[in-house]
Amino acid sequence: MSSHSSSPSSERSYSEPSSSVTSFCPSRAPSPLEPLWSPSVNTTSSSSSLDAATGYVIVFGPQPTLLDSQSLLQLSKAAGGLGQHVLNEAWSAFRQELKTAHAASEMGIANLPIPSTLSEFCDLCNPYQPQQAVRNLLHLLIQSLTVLAIVEAGSIDIGLLLSAQDVDSSIVASVGLCSGSLAAYCFATSSCASELVHRLVQTMRLAFWMGLRVTQAALDHSIQSNDNLCSIDDPWCLFVQGCSLAEMQLHLHRFSIQEANIQTVAQERQLPWIAIVFNHQRVSIAGPPESLTRFRAFLKHQTGGTSLVLRAVSLHAPYHSELWLSRAVRMLRSDLVSRKLSLVSSSDLVCPLFDNASGEAIDSTTLGIHLSDSIISSMLLGTARWDLILKNLPETILKERGGTLRRLVLINAGPDHRLAKDVVRALHGSSSATRSDAPTNVKTLDYNASSITNPSCQQKGTLAIRTEATPSAPHSVRFFGLSGDSLEECNRANALLQH
């Protein structure tokens, strides 16, 4: 894999997708694409103007609660002509796919209204509606277009790090479908513009159908299972009302100290098969039954049992069942074959991609020939091992760059700014006397880390990140506010870049 990611950018051509990869685009062929590079940058000399000792890592955190079509359209514009083309092609493909499936009443999709506009499509994201697979598509679009905004402007050598965000356990399909996995996979396997469009459309369709299939399978399992996985006294998920996210995080910290004498956040993250997520004015907690049972008792003791409303949710149990997981992987792999949705081999990776469960970088030595089982398993697992990813990150980055990396830019696509800071600590921890090849200059750039978590701030806009490469400034990263108060955050971020 390192042979791909360390190759000069000038060697990447605009050839058509490899015949070994099944392409999934609308019936009409894509129109000619805009170049990935800014017009001000000469594509033939861009590799010489870029500092080979600088690498980029994009950190994807938990996803925003609410999404709107306007932000999506603005972000596609920030990604340039290619971003708008991808959005239009993907929407066209999905609408046709939905119409076909609706007519066939496939997988219960007959109950899903067929939107006529992108705005209507976004409106299906209402957290109270059951069609949550649609929300994951928009998460995927937001992440993909953010990456595309960086690629389009000329930052050729990008390292992708999947943050393995904690599962949003208050909605159905998100438990089984981490759109960050698909976004990272899509761009980690795209080496030219035309192939990127094909892969993105393919991946979006894959996200949608896997979301529907996984959700339906979980419902069937919950109804038909006789193994008592979903006992109300043995919950896998809790909804908590009457408590803020900050208060719940404090409770978890105190619980961790009580349980394992844990004193630091870094140690706490090694425990965490309990995931806490704030969604639509309530806190959701997911984890194995024994942990949640103890944590629920701890909460009642801390609060006197009166201020919190704890409601057990049973649907999520199958996602934590090893038996169900192995069955689901086989079922989804079969679905991929029947729908002719192919996952490429690990030899196609052009930058590191990390497995959610093991924390290891995905390559031919860890996965064999194909990525499919690992990608599917990652999307089905409840809570990812960020601590293991951090443990493996420094070695992987240095291996990928052949020991030449001296400066690393972490772009935190948030909202959890702690993820990027954890990466910084992990990299600095490798800078010992025996690791003279470790990066000496590590910079963290936060991307709208505060407002994106708060549903009340959603209308204030979304930030797009764009990198610009010129001979005088080979690695210039600028933040562009798309609307409202995000402009002020952009100004602060841009001021930070000057230091």
Domains, the chain, with CATH or none: 2-12+54-220+326-497 (3.40.366.10), 237-313 (3.30.70)
| Mutual angle of helices 193-224 and 80-104, in 10-degree steps | 40
| Mutual angle of helices 133-152 and 179-188, in 10-degree steps | 30
Between CA 484 and CA 459 the distance in angstroms is 8
- Please give the pLDDT value at position 100: 73
Cis peptide before 415 (omega within 30 of 0): yes
- Please give the pLDDT value at position 17: 26
Q: Is the pTM of this model over 0.75?
A: no
Angle at 47 between CA 1 and CA 498, to 5 degrees: 105
- Please give the pLDDT value at position 41: 25
- Please give the pLDDT value at position 159: 43
Which residues are CB-contacts of 168 (< 8 A; sequence separation ≥ 6)? 62, 63, 174, 175, 277, 279, 284
- Please give the pLDDT value at position 7: 30
Between CA 489 and CA 281 the distance in angstroms is 24
- Ordered per-residue pLDDT tens for the chain, 499 residues: 233 333 322 222 222 222 222 222 222 222 222 222 222 222 222 322 334 455 555 555 444 334 455 555 555 555 556 566 666 766 776 677 667 766 666 545 555 556 677 666 655 544 333 344 444 455 555 555 555 554 444 443 444 444 333 333 222 223 223 344 455 455 555 555 555 556 555 655 655 565 555 555 544 554 444 433 333 344 455 656 666 666 776 777 777 767 666 555 444 444 444 555 444 445 556 555 566 777 777 877 876 655 555 554 443 444 445 555 566 667 767 766 776 665 555 555 555 566 656 667 666 555 544 556 665 655 555 445 556 666 776 676 666 555 555 555 555 554 444 555 666 666 666 544 344 555 555 555 544 333 333 333 333 333 333 333 333 333 333 333 333 334 444 455 445 444 4
- Please give the pLDDT value at position 106: 56
